[in-house]
A and B are shown apart, each in its own frame.
Chain A
């Protein structure tokens, strides 16, 4: 029983960052209809920003997270402006392949700059974990959960309470009509991509110190993000949050009770199962942004 509780605690920590990844991707996928293969690279990028700020510049750990969010935002905007804007109106396969090209180039760039040796980040948290009865959780993981929850909340407010969020929702429902109503759709696309990218970078910056940082770390993260998006339904933020936690639970239970080697297979199995049985996602009726 205590083992199960421990899995639940781990699930909460993992699920928070998965939800961040999923929200970012579901926004981009839902609003722009772009299968964003650079999402994983943005995740890696966020982790390396953490590494630079903390290890190379020697600055405060807590400063690194906003820096990573900002850097992810800028890189995302740059990708959107240079690669996606010129391809507006071309078919989904073309943009997908361009994103794959960008992913390969950027990931190799990471490898070139920082090398393949895994990096770790020193954290200001005490080594001893917080013990709560039968379970224990490290302070770092608690911080990751709190920060992820805060970012999810901010994103939720941004989408639902601001005029930018309203324009994004309108664009998601019908971009032609939104455009006729005076929404600057180009600007919405760039903002969406930038916001989604900054969330991916934040997830990387949060999970990077928990594990280690290496150039290919984003590959699995990207596929997991796809699993979450499919699970939650396209463009569904609440679905992405729930999907993130479901994936984390499946991974924890799979690793705990089946075999740790198949931990990462859970995401793929979920994708295949959902697409066979409920192709529109678990929360199909709510297929809209917000």
Chain B
């Protein structure tokens, strides 16, 4: 049943560029898709380990900058009179490096942050994102600062026997984003349903109990942070090569908030949640554009976030799923997963 829904949803999404000819809408769908990937990665932390990271855009932005700089090349002075010169590499290498380096940053932030929890964790992550933004703004030699990195090449896929396919059009980029999103979705789904996923949820629900049965908190949370950051880095790379210009505004806090809203509204801790929430909130500005001034749209955005937290605190997907299950079985839906014997046997 669930598989059918998933396949239908993918088929529907896959058919869009075949009938949708409006470039504005297609563009909105592509950028929304990129942010949905970011939201899915955020959900891995927020929904499955319970850690609210409000600096998530840092990994997205680092991915974007790494990928852009790899494919554009740079020439910077280092202390001691040395120069570091990098000749442009193919964008696809930039994509891979973006994933690796964002993941590495996720490792350090993970190590650093999980020493502190709750409100302090949130503030550390915000601070990290802001420091990275200020570096991007002020290290003009590397990043061009506010002048932005321009003319970022599109991703080119090497096709054995056919040369290269440069993904320049919206049509191409739509499918690129869709494929990466699918891979990210499957990866997260696989992870969540593994032993490791149960360890994560065990930690989220009762840390003391989880630790007492031998789950290594720091290790589990750090791995989750690395994977989450790496996926966000991939999304950032897609963004850089699609938009083809990036400036330090990519690190703006509002972009993190957008991802958080996508996760919370769709339903944190639900695999489909960020996708549903992401499509709704990514396309909401498109729907509101003809009827509202941009400032009024943002007022509505904040208002909707508050309304969702008041009315549907668990998010759209879990609330709908619960209603659907109740109707089918005539009984209350399953209680939330708790730490049972299965995860108690978890090897650390």
Contacts and interface: CB of A to CB of B under 8 A. Distances in A.
Contact of A223 (B130, B304, B313): B130
Nearest to A106: B302
Contacts of A226: 123, 126
Contacts of B135: 265
A97 interface: yes
A45 to B, nearest CB: 15
Nearest to B253: A219
B289 to A, nearest CB: 15
Interface stretch (A16-24, A174-182, A266-274): A266-274
A100 interface: yes
Contacts of B137: 261
B105 to A, nearest CB: 13
Interface string B280-296: 00000000000001011
Contact of A101 (B126, B293, B302): B302
Interface stretch (A59-67, A68-76, A108-116, A138-146): A108-116
A104 B258 CA distance: 11
Interface stretch (B80-88, B89-97, B112-120, B232-240): B112-120
A269 B52 contact: no
B25 interface: no
Contacts of B295: 108-109, 111-112
Given A101-B303, A112-B296, A92 B119 contact: yes
B127 interface: yes
Given A104-B257, A112-B296, A268 B131 contact: yes
Contacts of A107: 298
Interface string B181-200: 00000000000000000000
A170 B118 CA distance: 23
Interface in A260-282: 261-262, 264-265, 267-269, 271-272, 275-276, 279
Contact of A230 (B123, B130, B260): B123
A211 B309 CA distance: 36
B171 interface: no
Given A98-B306, A104-B298, A112-B295, A271 B138 contact: no
Interface string B17-59: 0000000000000000000000000000000000010000000
B119 A272 contact: no
B207 to A, nearest CB: 14
Chain A contact residues: over half helix, strand or loop, or mixed? helix
Given A92-B118, A272-B112, A108 B127 contact: no
Assign chain A's interface to a size class: 35 or more
A112 B299 contact: yes
B254 A104 contact: yes
B25 to A, nearest CB: 24
Contacts of B112: 272, 275-276
Contacts of A230: 120, 123
A87 B297 CA distance: 25
Contacts of A151: none
Interface in B258-281: 260, 264
Interface residues of B, number: 39
A134 B165 CA distance: 67
Interface in A193-222: 219
B313 A272 contact: no
B79 to A, nearest CB: 14
Contacts of A109: 295, 299
Nearest to A230: B123
A56 interface: no
B305 A97 contact: yes
B220 to A, nearest CB: 19
Nearest to A104: B302
Contacts of A149: none
A157 interface: no
B263 to A, nearest CB: 10
B310 interface: yes
A5 interface: no
Contacts of A111: 295, 298
Contacts of A154: none
A29 interface: yes
A79 to B, nearest CB: 11
A272 B127 contact: yes
B175 interface: no
B173 to A, nearest CB: 29
Given A92-B119, A219-B253, A271 B306 contact: no
Given A111-B295, A226-B123, A103 B131 contact: no
Interface in A76-97: 83, 86-87, 90, 92-94, 96-97
A275 B306 contact: no
A16 B226 CA distance: 41
A81 B160 CA distance: 65
A94 B313 contact: yes
Given A83-B306, A279-B115, 18 more contacts: A35-B119, A35-B123, A92-B118, A96-B52, A98-B309, A98-B310, A100-B302, A101-B303, A101-B306, A102-B306, A108-B296, A112-B296, A264-B130, A265-B130, A271-B123, A272-B112, A275-B120, A279-B116
7 contacts: A96-B119, A103-B302, A104-B298, A230-B120, A264-B134, A268-B134, A275-B112
Q: Which 8 A-B pairs have the closest CB atoms?
A: A105-B302, A104-B302, A108-B298, A101-B305, A261-B138, A268-B127, A112-B295, A101-B306
